[in-house]
Amino acid sequence: MSAVVQARGLSKRYGTTVALDGVNFEIESGRIVGLIGPNGAGKTTVLKAILGLSEFDGDLSVLGFDPKTQRPQLMEQVCFIADVAVLPRWIRVGQAIDFVAGVHPRFSREKCEAFLASTKVKPGMRVRELSKGMIVQLHLALVMAIDARILVLDEPTLGLDILYRKTFYENLLSQYFDENKTIIVTTHQVEEVEHILTDLIFIREGKITLNASMEEIGDRYAEVLVNPDKADAARALHPLNERQIFGKSIFLFDGVDRGRLADLGELHKPSIADLFVATMKGTYA
């Protein structure tokens, strides 16, 4: 596999505030990467740098382009969906399609119209007449109809009900993603993307605290449901986190031998949400 995004010493300051603190990472082609962190951790700053929307220090290559100096070429290969779709409220759906068809050389009108045909979004409707869910459907149709190699999603389903959120990710997998495309997604609803991710990056206070494939995470981390009589033995193994449920303790371990953990209780694979909470302790203090 070849890296489509390479960052070395990526840094960004806003006045005296450090948004990114010399981070290094690579993203391979054909991956779905979750960039997860608390508010203000630096997620959106990373995305803006990748999209050429923000100045930065350090080295950053996206599809072989420098986002600072080669953004027009880069934007032919990269698409973006933000938490608020930036479509003019006065524009009609058909006009939006005409506009994108006129400015983007890799846009397929047929693919866009075919996707919208399965929704309630009609060509004559204005954006101001659409619900938020329908606006996201329109934005998704416009983006998925572009043959881009990287799709960047910044809280794409924020404010949508569960049906729209579920349908959004199902459409991404069935109608957009393949081994030649890469998706980078930030979201606070991590439980809804966990099943589609191939890689996970945790970012906290401008630093990357975890960067691994989902397979590596499954091998590295384990949760154990422990009865009270073995809780002290579990604590002696220095767990990342401990929480209580129904009179038992659940311990989260990093890199501890599974055989030793099995003697303590019932083993489980931790969810991304539980891993996030354990590794971000103190962030909101």
Q: What are 191-233's pLDDT values in tens digits?
A: 888 989 999 999 999 999 999 999 999 999 999 999 999 999 9
Per-residue pLDDT tens for 40-63? 889 999 999 999 998 999 999 999
Q: Looking at residue 29, what DSSP letter applies?
A: T
Per-residue pLDDT tens for 130-177? 988 888 889 888 988 998 999 999 888 877 788 888 888 888 888 888
Which residue blocks in the chain are alpha helix, DSSP H? Answer: 43-50, 71-74, 93-103, 109-116, 132-144, 162-175, 214-220, 231-235, 258-262, 272-279
What is the arithmetic mean of pLDDT over 233-254? 92
**Does an H or E element contain 9, and which?**
strand 3-14
What is the arithmetic mean of pLDDT over 31-42? 92
Question: Span 3-205: which CATH code?
Answer: 3.40.50.300
CA–chain centroid gap for 231, Å, is 35
pTM (2 d.p.): 0.89
pLDDT of residue 285: 39
DSSP string, 244-268: EETTEEEEEEES--HHHHHTTEEEE
| SS3 label, residue 43 | helix
